[in-house]
Structure 1
């Protein structure tokens, strides 16, 4: 594709739209020096459970009002890892590819990671291995220190539709989901939803969604 570079925020088990950018752009910059923003994909993901879309939020340690995302520590005051994994199992244990991919993800809900940015990046590397892609990823060394030609998409992909920016380069077609008989097709969920439902077809599915 002709696209050169895009700037993204960090994201926890990100939505399919976010992952599509790693297939669409030659270089992906990950913003490490922005101030952390609450209620975004930086520390939350959305899966589809028996009661509909469900948000899973990684708690972070409270500190000063403005914290660099690269310095943000994960909080373990609650057993959120167990809660998240149980929610994922409940949502996807009957999906076609859950048993094949379960072992790839369960370690992230057993081992304690210190920093959110590093945690998200480690999960992403596993996702890339499953998709069999090797994107060219760079981390920012300072805020806004990227090429002027780089597309700034840090705030564009957002869990709240009113805050999301319309993306003409992403359009998702339906695929089979565990609870689609109950809710119909639910678009742009966590990449987990696509992987567990489509398995080895996930890569080709994502390519269908990019323009």
Structure 2
């Protein structure tokens, strides 16, 4: 069986979750250094005014240590900012009229009520919730050392780059009539629009 290597995102884009439905072993890179402007701590949704960034505030090293890297697994969430309340409010405002928001709402709410210390822990819980919503069993594994060259894997770690411009087939989005179709938003956008059909859509992206 082929094995795919991915980074772990915050409710990653549709292109990321298309990898999880493939008949392959899934590995998450657990030993990488944290990088800004990636899907590790951000996602994009379709709000009334268009594409909206939801960003999780994290604690960084002091500026006195600009060259010192932090591992992703050691990144802590900034608790002084009420980001969970703001993110949930934005999700509800954007998707409460979508076909399947109420269907999955109860699964998602606990993520925005529980207090987390580490970003990676929160993101793994997000992954588990999505898998539950999709009734998708992903028997993933975690790396124990950073793989500079993933020779034994299909290396899809580039999908964590939030600046990538990946095109996907259209589905009906909440504000599409106003702003047109927005490509490769968070998996939540697809989930709230397509509901139980989401796995079929993802499988057709292969």
* TM-score, normalisation: structure 2: 0.92
- Offset of 1:156 from its aligned partner? 3.6
Q: Which residue does 1:33 correspond to in 2?
A: 31
Whether contact under 8 Å (1:44, 1:58) holds in the other structure is yes
Q: Which runs of 5 or more structure 1 residues have no equivalent in the other structure?
A: none
Q: Show the counterpart of 1:99.
A: 102
Partners in 2 of 1:119 and 1:14 — Cα distance? 13
Contiguous gaps of at least 5 residues in structure 2 = none
Asked if 1:196 is matched to 2:199, the reply is no
Match for residue 69 of structure 2? 66
Q: In 2, are the aligned partners of 1:61 and 1:75 still within 8 Å (CA)?
A: yes
Matches within 5 A, 1:97-176: 97-144=100-147, 148-161=151-164, 172-176=168-172
Take 1:177 and 1:22, find their aligned partners in 2: how far apart are those partners? 22
Maintained 8 Å contact 1:17/1:157: no
* 1:54 equivalenced with 2:52 (yes/no): yes
SS in 1 for 2:157: coil
Say whether residues 1:5 and 2:3 are aligned partners: yes
Report what 1:15 is aligned to: 13
Deviation (angstroms), 1:157? 4.1
Q: 1:174 to 1:194 in 2, by over 3 A?
A: same
Contact kept in structure 1, 2:7 and 2:160, CA below 8 Å: no
Equivalent-residue separation in structure 1 for 2:150 and 2:175 (angstroms): 43
Q: How far apart, in 1, do the equivalents of 2:14 and 2:23 lie?
A: 15
| 1:6 and 1:25 in contact (8 A); partners too | no
Q: CA RMSD in A?
A: 1.7
Higher relative contact order (CA 8 A, sep 6+): 2
Task: Map Cα deviations across residues 30-53 of structure 1 (whole Å, 9 max, x no partner).
Answer: 111111000100110000001111
Q: Distance in 2 between matches of 1:145 and 1:51?
A: 40
